[in-house]
Structures are given as structure tokens and as C-alpha cells.
Amino acid sequence: MKTVQITDLNLSFGPRTVLRDIQLTLTSRTRAALTGGNGSGKSTLMKIINHTAHADSGNLSIQKGTRISYLPQSGRTFSGSTLKEEAEKAFEELHAISRRKREIENTLGNTTDTSEGVQRLLEEQHELEEELLAAEYYQRAREIEQVLTGLGFSRADFDRKCEHFSGGWQMRIALAKVLLEHPDILLLDEPTNYLDLEARNWLESFLRDYRGGFLIVSHDRYFLDTTVDETYELFMGRLARYPGNYSKYLERRKAELEELSHSYEHQQKEIEKLNSFIQKFRYNASKAKQVQSRVKYLEKMERIELPTHMQSIHFSFPPAPHSGKKVLQMDNIRKAYGRKEVLHDISLELRRGEKLVVTGVNGAGKSTLLRILSGSDQDYSGELSLGAGVDIGYFSQEQTELEQNPVSIIELLENEAPTNLVPRLRGLLGAFLFRGDDIYKSLQVLSGGEMSRIALLRLLLQPHNLLILDEPTNHLDIHSKDVLLDALQSFDGTLIFVSHDRYFIEHLAGRVLHIDAGGARDFQGDYNYYLYRLEQEQSASTGSSADKMTSDKISAAEIGTGENPGPMYGGKIYSPENTREQYNQLKQAKNRLKKLEAEEMSLMERIETLELKHLQLQKEMARPEIYSVGEKIKEIQARLHTNEQEHIRLSQQWEALLDEKEFLSQETDR
């Protein structure tokens, strides 16, 4: 069993101690996660183990023959060779063994000597051949194909030059090479950052079957839970070990944190008491000795720190504005870039309160669909309509409107946040990884990831009833994801999102729209139901296409395929042979629909008038001078109550009208 052992390791950057007395043992059986807050030193520790960084003191002992491979978070690029040729470079050590074996074979083939030297060459040749067989060297072409396709590359990519791949795909190449090297110990720093859900699932399976050891830094909880059996936490420079997967670590750490919080609160009260005494008697000569004593005591006190990545922060959205029951309707949406059709005849109806995840491999068209739904992309065919009162909040990774704004982060959010949330902004910024002096950064100096987090936080502070979120968990750590997940679970509006985080999807989505080859399938269930359906289909015996459609129970409208059988009413196809009674019913429904549309316009105007009056009354209540006149306050409060009751009555009337209108629309449109 190969081993790496670290003892008494220390590292400081100026006055800041990053690693303090670190003790760590990794073996070829280790399956561990490394966690800690941003900047706690996780990546630095991995670099020290890989000899790409050095500690100030301590010992790093690596057993002879132990092979270590390291994947950094970013920065790896490749050029000058094809994808397949680059993957072959992962076998350099085995290529060298193979070359040595051929040299021996050539030597033996050209000699008739029977001396001991020849015997030694024969023994060496045998050992080298055994090593190549054990490493499955002769099956490497198959393994290269399995790893590359598992990570999302197509076979057509194998002969593409590496420099033609984007940054995210460059990191996939780096990950593929690290996995193909089959080291005794893998060091993986955020390996899932650039992977879609399918590639993550494949990597989980690969690591579960991996014969070596590994240490992983990741912000994907599900990924960690399925791959590791112990967790190491870096906090204030020290390393602590917790047996079990990441969720087990969280359970134990939560109990420790509660105890630590009590100690922290007690110490804070003591510090406040000491500071109060110092401030009160600082200039009192008779108390000088006591003051100095307390000052020295405070200076020597070892402060208790709460780990920022574990602190509990709860955030709730502003109440979602009311909307109709039907939030969104897509009919035969198509999108093409030149001759390449990305989306083909996608149809979907989304109702109020639903939480829909859009899945599919990278490049399937998920982000394109979200841009269309948000109104950011108008270049498509088909029909898209929003329900009554729908207010969209859209988040994408491409946030550029703030880049030239010179204000600081905290200034921006204080100007935009609802009044009741302003006191909590610093905590929320901390949850989104802006801590300490970071909140005073100018927007103009933020990185892409920082700008993305600010854009997400801005969106969450505003009242919307339809949120469309494209990869909202990118650039967030696990704790930040939990804050976001908790808020979205309690969100009382409608949600459409794309994410590659399995834990996030499983705990949020109640419906799945899967995009594949331009089309879409609608699964009326959560993510586990979606996986179950796919598994059942894969394992089912091959049947007729008709049987398959029956088992899917998905209509042509739901999956965006098939032919329109013609106008329908009451579930029957309408044709000249239908009865006159059916025709009259259809005509009456259309007339009633026109009346309802006029009534809706009138109701909306009355509701808007009430909302404006409500705002005016609130402003009047905020005037200090009215509190000197008791009768005036009672009068305004009575008017507010009457306004609210009328608003409730009209809203209920409007909702009933929408239900009737929606029913009639379905009948007349078919």
C-alpha cells in the first residue's frame, strides 16, 4: 500500500498563518474530501503534496514508487496535438516501459550468448511485460475512448486539435489525462466545475470503482456523498478528520458548532463587558491599574472564531406578486443557428408554483431555451405566451450591465434592497462569499465569478413570481448553495432552472424537462422519478414504437412531436359531421371568452388603482406629524383596512375569471 505522510506542516503568508501543525496520511485506499471556507488553504495543501508549492516547516514523506497526479481548479491548456494524441500522453511511463521491453527483445534477438547477463535481460523482460499487463497497457485505446466519452467528448472530437476546445473543455482534457494516468493517489481540486450532470454521474461511477486513493475538493455535496468515506476540514489553519461521507461530517460539525456558538456568545459578552469598563474609566486616574489589567487580558485572550462556511444564514424572498394559474405556455418552439437546429417543436404548459428543471447534455440547448423563455432571445419560431400578472426574474452567467458601474458592492445593494432586508445585507453577502472588506470592492474590479454572484443576489432581493435561473450554483460553495436552496424551496412563485448540481436538483425540482437532439420530454415528477423512468426504458426489452409511446404516456404536445389531428371540442374532433349543438356550444364559448377579456381589463385597472392608493396611504402613515393627531391615524388605518379587503375581493374575482377564461381558451383553441 503506497503512502504519503505529512507531519507538523506549517505555512504562513506574511502575518497570516494558512497551515498550522498539519498532520495527514494518504494511502492508495484513501477516499477523502477536503473542505473548508474559501481561502482556508485547501488548494495550497494539495499543491504542497504535489511538490508545486512548499511549506515553511514540517515533513512531507512520500513512499518510494508512489505516483501522485494533481488536477488544479483551472489554468490547464493543451495545443499542438489532437485530443486522442493528448490522452495518449497520460501513458508516458508505460510507453517508456514498453520501449525498454522492445530494446531488450531486440538485444536478445541479436545475440546467441547464454551468459548470466542474458538471463538477467530475460528476467527484466518478464517483469516489464507483467507490469504492462497489470496496467492493461494493451487495452489503453479502449480505456481512452471510455474516459473521453464518459467526460462528454464525442468520437468526432478525437481527431480535433486541442487548441480548438474552449476553456471548460480544456479542463476536461486535463481531468481525462489525470484519470488515465492511474496514479496511486489522485488529488482533485474542484473536478466537477466544468462537467455537466451526465459527466458528473460518470465520474462518480469511475471513482467508486477506482483502485487507488484520492483526496477531493468539491462544492458538490451529492458528488462527495457518493464517493468519499472520510472528510478533512481546514479551519483557522488546523486540519480535523471526520469519518463518514460529507453529510455525516455536516451532522457532527453542526453539533460541534452549536457548542462552539455558546462559547462564542459567552466570550463576546465578556469582551463587551471588559470594553465597557475600559471605555468608562479610561481617563480615571484612580482606575488606571484596573483598566490596564483588562487591556492586557483582552490582548492575551484567544478569540473564538466561528467558521464562516458553516454559519447558518436563512434568507427568504420577498413575497411573489400574484399571477394567474397558467404561468407560461410554449407551442412548437423552434430555434436554429444557421442550418443547425437546436430546439425542435418544444411545447410545454407551466402552472403557478411549479419548480421545473431543464436537463440535457452540454450543448443540448438548455441555456438557449431559458433565454427564449426570459425574453432575451426573440429570434425563434413558434408561440410563447405568459400568463396574467407574470413578472420574470432572469439570471444567466453573462452579466455585463454592471461592469462600468463605479459604486461598491454594499452601496449597490443598499440602494436596491427592500428596506426590511438592508440590516441583513452583510450576512447575505457573507453567505455569497463576500466577507470582510470585500463588500467595499468597486463593481469595476470584480471577477466574472464575483459579478455573477452579485447578479444572483440582486435578483433574489427583488419581488418576482417567475424565476428563470441558468446555473445559479456556479461560483458558489456548498454553504452558499444551501442558503440559495433553502430560499428557493420556500419561494412561493414559479421556478425554471438549469443546474449540474445533483443535490440541488433532487431537493428542488418537482418536474423535469429533458432536452435531447433538439426535442424535449416532459416528466411529471421529481428528478428521482425521471432517473427511474430512464432506467426502466434502458432495461426494457425492445418493443414496437407504439408500445414505447404508450409506456411513456407523453402526448405529442408534451414532447413536441406528432401531427395535429385538427380542432377539438370536449375531447372530440370537430368536423362538419358533428352535431349543430356542438357547433353552437363552441360559438357561445367564444362569445363568452370575449366578454371575460373585457371584464379582466376592467378588473386589472381597479386592482392597480387599489395598489396605488395603498402606497399613498402607507406614505401618509410614514409622516411624523400625523402622530400628533390620534383621529387622523385611526382614519388612515381604517382606509388601509378597507383598501386591503377590497383588494382581496377583486383578486379572488380575478382569479375565478382567469380559471373560466383558461378553460374556455383550451376549448376554443383546440
pLDDT at 284: 80
Section 145-164 average pLDDT = 94
Residue 112, pLDDT > 70, answer: no
pLDDT at 380: 92
pLDDT at 622: 61
Residue 139, pLDDT > 70, answer: yes
Quote the pTM value.
0.68
Section 537-555 average pLDDT = 49
What pLDDT band is residue 633 in, cutting at 50, 70 and 90? low
Would you say 260 and 266 are in contact if contact means Cβ atoms under 8 Å apart?
no
What proportion of the chain, given as a percentage, has pLDDT over 70?
Answer: 86
Class at the top of the CATH hierarchy for domain 572-669? mainly alpha
pLDDT at 571: 37
Give yes or no on whether 1-77+174-244 and 572-669 have one common fold.
Answer: no
Average pLDDT of every residue of the chain: 83
Would you say 383 and 330 are in contact if contact means Cβ atoms under 8 Å apart?
yes
Section 152-163 average pLDDT = 93
Out of 3.30.70.1380, 3.40.190.10, 3.30.930.10, 3.40.50.300, the CATH code matching 326-559 is: 3.40.50.300
pLDDT at 576: 38
Kindly list the domain boundaries of the chain, sorted by start residue: 1-77+174-244, 79-164, 249-300, 326-559, 572-669
Residue 563, pLDDT > 60, answer: no
Grid coordinates representing 220 are 458538490
pLDDT at 572: 35
pLDDT at 69: 96
pLDDT at 290: 85
**Cα→Cα distances 597→117, 390, 577, 601, 654, Å:** 99, 17, 31, 6, 11
Class at the top of the CATH hierarchy for domain 1-77+174-244? alpha beta
Section 497-516 average pLDDT = 93
What pLDDT band is residue 35 in, cutting at 50, 70 and 90? very high
Residue listed under C-alpha cell 468597486: 442
Of 662 and 490, the one with more pLDDT: 490
pLDDT at 551: 40
pLDDT digits (tens, 9 = 90+) for 257-304: 777 777 878 888 888 888 888 888 888 877 788 888 888 888 888 787
Calpha distance 609→473 (Å, rounded): 39
pLDDT digits (tens, 9 = 90+) for 418-436: 777 787 788 788 777 787 7
pLDDT at 569: 33
Residue 362, pLDDT > 50, answer: yes
Backbone dihedral angles phi then psi of residue 45, each to the nearest 5 degrees? -60, -40
Q: Which residues, other chains included, contact 46 with Cβ-Cβ below 8 Å and sequence gap of 6+?
A: 34, 70, 187, 189, 215, 217
Q: Which residues, other chains included, contact 484 with Cβ-Cβ below 8 Å and sequence gap of 6+?
A: 456, 460, 472, 473, 476
Of 578 and 642, the one with more pLDDT: 642
pLDDT at 394: 92
Section 514-528 average pLDDT = 88
Segment among 40-54, 71-85, 414-428, 476-490 with least mean pLDDT: 414-428
Listing DSSP states for 555-601 in one string gives: -HHHHT-S-----EETTEE--TTS-HHHHHHHHHHHHHHHHHHHHHH
Section 588-610 average pLDDT = 80
Section 27-46 average pLDDT = 91
**Cα→Cα distances 20→177, 189, 232, 398, Å:** 33, 21, 14, 39
Calpha distance 192→500 (Å, rounded): 9
Residue 578, pLDDT > 70, answer: no
pLDDT digits (tens, 9 = 90+) for 189-216: 999 988 988 899 999 999 999 999 999 9
pLDDT at 161: 95
Helix 409-416 and helix 448-460, axial crossing angle in degrees, nearest 10: 20
Section 402-415 average pLDDT = 79
Residue 372, pLDDT > 90, answer: yes
pLDDT digits (tens, 9 = 90+) for 77-100: 999 999 999 999 999 999 999 999
**Cα→Cα distances 259→264, 303, 308, Å:** 9, 15, 15
pLDDT at 363: 79
What pLDDT band is residue 655 in, cutting at 50, 70 and 90? confident
pLDDT at 291: 85
What pLDDT band is residue 623 in, cutting at 50, 70 and 90? low
Residue 579, pLDDT > 50, answer: no
Section 365-381 average pLDDT = 92
What pLDDT band is residue 552 in, cutting at 50, 70 and 90? very low
